[in-house]
Amino acid sequence: MSIRKLIIILIILMATAPLGIFIYTANNQWNQNVKQALTLSSTVANKVLTEQSILTSVAEQLAITLSYVPAIRNRDSEAANQLLEEILASSPQYATIFMLDAKGVCWAAALPRQISLSYAERRYFRNAVATGRFSSGEFNVGKVLRAPVFSFAYPFKDTSGSINGVAVIVINLDRYRQLYEQNAFSLGASSMMLVDHKGTILFSSLNPQLVGTQDKLFQNMLKGADGGTFEAKGNNNILRLFSFRKIFLKDESTPYMYVRIGVSKQDVLATVYRELLTNVGILSLVLLLTLGLAILLTKRGIHDKIITLRNATHAIANGDLTIRVADRVSGGELGELGCAFDEMALKLAASIHERQQAERHLMKSEEEFRLIFEEASDAIFWADATTGILLNCNKAAEEMMEAPREELIGKHQTYLHPPEMEEEHRDIFTRCAGGLESSNSLEALVLSRSGKKTPVQIKHSVTVIGDRKIIQGIFRDISERRQAEEELRHSQKLLSSIVENAPYAIFVKNVADNFRVILWNHAAEQIFGIPATDMVGKNAHDLWPRDQADAFLAEDYKTITQRAMMDIPEEVSYHPQKGSIYIHTRKIPLFNQNGEVSHIVVISDDITERRTVQAEFVKHQKLESLGVLAGGIAHDFNNILTGILGNISFARMFLEPSHKAATILVEAEKASQRASDLAYQLLTFAKGGQPIKKVVEVQHIIEASLSLVLRGSKVKSILEIPDSLHAIEADEGQMHQVFNNIIINALQSMPDGGILTISADLIHIVDSTPAGLASGPYVKIFFADTGCGIREEDQKRIFDPYFTTKNGGTGLGLASAYAIIGKHGGQISVRSVPGTGTTFEVLLPASQMEATAQKTDSTMATPVLHGKHPMLIMDDDPIIRNLAESVLEELGYSVKTCTSGEEAIEMYRLAQQNGQPFAAVIMDLTIPGGMGGKEAAAQILKQYPGARLVVSSGYSNDPVMADYLQYGFSAAMLKPYNVATLASLLGKLLSESQTEI
């Protein structure tokens, strides 16, 4: 092959490397873009899923709340219609809300045209009646709205637990476009689609005309537990990368809705294609330019000179030794080759001189051999193969034997070794000389003149020098190697000690011997509860249950197949004393000299305690998330209750006690108060709802709860609390709520009577517990009943919000107790065996201070002052403003109202300038979208320090309500409140004002 062709091939080969890099980079960028697109689409799908879950949760809570409204329970169509219209007006996410009777006929609705229509054939109605739970529907065209909608339904139950009606909340499908626009992202042509459980399209961001049709890709979303990804052509035949999520209702195994986010694959990969084509084009251009330049240079610098050298070679072969080419071939390596041709011609003319030069080279080689023999670092001995007499040795041999060579030559080769090894080495030498010694390498000891024994490695070889057969022995000092081996043995012993004393379970399995254990350290004995004497020589099937042993064996085979470390973050193992434990395991393959897996090293860590801590953390996270929603609902509920409770008490002012309606209003007022108690339980979850603590006696709170809950029941209580028990720092009202809920559960578990034993003791926690309690003294309280007990599977969820096994239960009692105890720095747990009873255990930090006796305030409410005292009411709720205005005007006050903090500040300033200052201002703490009471009060007090301000809120646990004086308020009034509370508070406040004057 010509040089020119070789250069072309070389240039092409050089170009393959960057071409491969371009292709590899493009492939990586391709995969990265696809992965990024799937990640972004998964993120958007998760956000849509979260917002949809919040929407359904709010809808469910709205339906539950409606089930408690008297107008709904009493089927007051006029009142119910008005209420539903008001809710619909303030909730744009709903298309309508209506109520159905047990047969599916509408009797109340936000859109009155729905009255008397039957919805019995709708899926949401059938599911709600069949399951008794909050249920979902499917794609429908509304009978009144005449537009695509999606509905949810919640069944109402009477006191006997029978379903007597259904609340239906209809979601306007058009709202999903706003949801899409808020969550759309700019990677290619993105799309969002929602379909119901049958695959009917509920929403399409790219083609609204598809709504109501069957989704072509619905089957692709049926796989996977909660969601996944796939690649396919969408409904508009564009190849897309899709991420989808399934949306479930609680306790439903079938998704009621699917959300799918798609990204055009062509858009994702367009940039990669452009970059690859650009790089390949540039590389091709550079390759062509390089190729042309190489051909031009090789012709002038190589090809023409090689032709000249070829012709000169032919001339020399023909005997012309006078030819010279150095002047025609000059420069570079070819120029040197031309000079070499000229020299060759001269050397051929002096062949005799060449032979003489060769002889000199031979003599030089012999000298070099002598120098190599003498200067070798290993000791070399020559011995006669027949007699074993030493013939020669080098300088290193003299140093090893500590004797000159003249003294060594003539001695028998056994002279080199200790006397006790003389016969052994004589036999070895004889076998080596006769060709019987199969190994030409052995280890021995050399005895020097001073008696020093040096370990050596000897290599024998038989050769002939002249006419004499000799054996050459090369003795290499291996003292350092022996020392290294000793250090290695020490390191192995040290490694064995480290393995034995490691805090992790470490053991080794022999693959060839059916995975039997050959090493089992001390930590393995502790973690698995099996001594090494019982485990070594056995495999998993000898000591573990079959199913678990099979799982371990499957992991071992997978480790062998993957030929890499296998990490199992969590799996269950069996402990003879502890039962099931959770372990984190790593399996590492060890390879033999053939590259096969010979052993498996297993490292396991007991993570049972860590897992318990993580479970507690997840439970706290769940309560915090629900707290945000619960707080908002309770606040709005309290505002509604203020209007109900206040108007009832206002109406009672105008009725004589003997009036027939008076008793009815009293009962309505009591029912409203019970609804307020439910809102208080919801507020327990609210973010920022910290307890208002003081030092209290546990026994006094428990005695009060027992007296309240067990009065008139068949349950007997036994109280075993020592008088010396330490007090606790706690919110007394919240502790009453905790103990009431626990005692109520005990009472309901013993309908035919039983015994409830309550005991308490003081304990000290030295180290942090798995639940994360701080060290210190704690009061431990036991509530043990003899009731029916709790099933094991229910015990795991007993503290979850809205989980209940009782008809008519809210599922908030024990969840509230769990949240309250947690906010007090304590812990609550339960132990129960069905049929034998239940024990609740409560841990609360003990206080070193003594509780102060509570004094009962027996004074009567401060009388209302008469006269036209000007009052200002600031509240965003028109019902509360109108109520407060009517009540105060009836009591003789002059009243003005406003809806925000900004208005209150301006009206207070004008009243001061006009010489008619307000005697007091009642301010709502929270104004959505505007300035609330705390901020407005700060600005008023800055200009008018003597202002009398009253803070009012439905957030009873808000820090401002708990310590209102610190924020400049003169009094605080919780919602809901009645006429008596409002009149008493203002009367007392104005009396104090006049006293100060």
CA distance 937 to 951: 9
pLDDT band at 104 (very low <50, low <70, confident <90, very high): very high
Cα–Cα dist 183/30, whole Å: 25
Pick the closest to residue 582 from 598, 599, 606 (CA basis): 606
In angstroms, the CA 881 to CA 898 distance is 8
pLDDT of residue 685: 47
What's the fold here for domain 694-845? Heat Shock Protein 90 (3.30.565)
Domain 25-55+175-268: which CATH number of 1.20.1250.20, 3.40.50.300, 3.30.450.20, 3.40.50.2300: 3.30.450.20
Amino acid at position 364, single letter: K
Question: How confident is the model at residue 526, as a pLDDT?
Answer: 85
pLDDT of 195-213, one tens digit each? 998 889 988 888 888 888 9
- Determine which of 229-233, 634-638, 873-877 has the lowest per-residue pLDDT on average: 634-638
Which tops the pLDDT comparison, 8 or 777? 777
Of the two residues 638 and 882, the one the predictor is more confident about is 882
Q: What is this structure's pTM?
A: 0.34
CATH fold label, 367-477: Beta-Lactamase (3.30.450)
* pLDDT of 673: 67
Structure tokens given for 842: 């409560």
DSSP string for 910-949: HHHHTT---SEEEEES--TTS--HHHHHHHHHHH-TT--E
Which of 157-161, 641-645, 917-921, 961-965 has the largest mean confidence?
917-921
Q: Assign 633 a pLDDT band (cuts: 50, 70, 90).
A: low
Q: Which amino acid is it at 290?
A: T
Report which secondary-structure segment, H or E, holds 151.
strand 148-157
- Orientation of helix 608-653 relative to helix 660-683, angle to 10°: 160
Q: Residue 734 — very low, low, confident or very high, per pLDDT cuts 50/70/90?
A: confident
- What's the Cα-to-Cα distance from 831 to each of 150, 828, 841, 845, rounded to whole Å? 43, 11, 8, 21
The rounded distance, in Å, linking the Cα atoms of 196 and 258 is 6
Across 476-495, average pLDDT: 80
Please tell me the predicted confidence (pLDDT) of residue 857: 37
Is the pLDDT confidence value at 690 over 70? no
- Domain boundaries defined on the chain: 25-55+175-268, 58-172, 305-349, 367-477, 484-606, 613-683, 694-845, 870-996
Higher pLDDT, 273 or 685: 273
pLDDT of residue 166: 94
For residue 104, how far is the Cα from the chain centroid?
Answer: 44
Confidence of residue 995 (pLDDT cuts 50, 70, 90): low
Q: What percent of the chain has pLDDT over 70?
A: 82
Residue predicted with more confidence, 606 or 180: 606
Query: Residue 256 in 3-state DSSP?
Result: coil
Least confident of 217-231, 623-637, 638-652, 779-793: 623-637
Q: What is the mean pLDDT of residues 581-593?
A: 90
Helix (H, G, I), strand (E, B) or coil at 588: strand
First and final C-alpha spacing in the chain: 120
Tens of pLDDT, residue by residue over 148-179, are 888 999 999 887 888 989 999 998 877 777 77
Domains 25-55+175-268 and 58-172 share a fold: yes
Query: From the DSSP assignment, how many helices (H) and strands (E) are in the chain?
Result: 28, 33
pLDDT digits (tens, 9 = 90+) for 888-946: 888 889 999 999 999 999 999 999 999 899 999 999 988 888 899 999 999 999 999 98
pLDDT at 631 over 50: yes
Q: Three-class SS of residue 150? A: strand
Task: Round to whole Å and give the CA distance between 451 and 523.
Answer: 50
Higher local confidence (pLDDT), 877 or 856: 877
**CA neighbours closer than 13 Å in the CB half-sphere of residue 891:** 25
Residue 51's pLDDT is what?
A: 83
Per the CB < 8 A criterion, the answer to whether 155 and 164 are in contact is no
865-895: pLDDT as tens digits: 445 789 999 998 898 888 888 888 888 899 9
pLDDT of residue 688: 39
Q: List alpha helices for 710-812, DSSP H.
A: 732-748, 792-795
User: What pLDDT is stored for residue 362 in this prediction?
Assistant: 64
SS (H, E, C) 621-634: HHHHHHHHHHHHHH
Identify the CATH class of 870-996: alpha beta
Residue 518 to residue 601: CA distance in whole angstroms: 10
Look at the domain 484-606 and name its fold: Beta-Lactamase (3.30.450)
278: tokens are: 């650009």
Q: How far apart are CA 880 and CA 764, in angstroms?
A: 51
Instruction: Report which of residues 194 and 852 the model is more confident about.
Output: 194
Q: 341 forms bridges with which residues in the sheet? A: none
Residue in this structure with the two tokens 């099931």, named with its chain if needed: 580
Confidence tier at 839 by pLDDT (50, 70, 90): very high
Q: Residue 859's pLDDT band (boundaries 50, 70, 90)?
A: very low
CA atoms within 13 A on the CB side of 525: 13
Distance CA 978, CA 985 (A): 11
Contact 106, 115 (CB under 8 A): yes
The least confident of 429-443, 716-730, 899-913 is: 429-443
Higher-pLDDT residue of 487, 436:
487
Assess whether pLDDT exceeds 70 at residue 684: no
Give yes or no for residue 993 having a pLDDT over 70. Answer: no
Task: List the structure tokens of 549.
Answer: 């042993």
Q: Tell me, what's the pLDDT at 861? A: 38
Average pLDDT on 121-126 reads 91
Is-contact 957 972, C-beta < 8 A? no
Letter for the amino acid at 131? T
pLDDT exceeds cutoff 50 at 862: no
Pairwise CA distance, residues 975 & 935, whole Å: 20
549, pLDDT greater than 70: yes
DSSP class of residue 94?
Answer: E
Residues in the chain: 997
Which position has the higher pLDDT, 699 or 651? Answer: 699
pLDDT of residue 622: 62
Confidence band, pLDDT 50/70/90 cuts, at residue 45:
confident
HSE-CB of 31 using CA atoms within 13 angstroms = 5
* Cβ count near 724 (within 10 Å): 6
> What pLDDT shows up at residue 863?
40
Structure confidence at residue 866 (pLDDT): 46
What are the start-end ranges of the H helices in 930-974? 933-943, 959-962
Residue 735: pLDDT over 90:
no
Mean pLDDT of the chain: 81
Q: Name the helix (H) or strand (E) containing 101.
A: strand 94-101
The better pLDDT of the pair 883, 857 is held by 883
Residue 962 has pLDDT above 60, yes or no: yes
Task: Quote the strand ranges of 770-813, DSSP E.
Answer: 776-785
Max CA pair span of the chain: 154
CB 183 within 8 A of CB 47: yes
Give residue-wise pLDDT tens across range 446-475: 999 899 999 999 888 888 877 788 888 899
Alpha helices in 90-231 (DSSP H): 123-131, 175-183
φ, ψ dihedrals at 727, nearest 5°: -80, 175
Assess whether pLDDT exceeds 70 at residue 358. no
Task: Look up the CATH superfamily of 58-172.
Answer: PAS domain (3.30.450.20)
DSSP assignment of 349-401: HTHHHHHHHHHHHHHHHHHHHHHHHHH-SSEEEEEETTT-BEEEE-HHHHHHH
d(CA 452, CA 403): 12
Kindly indicate whether the domain formed by 305-349 is annotated with CATH number 1.10.8. yes
pLDDT of residue 443: 87
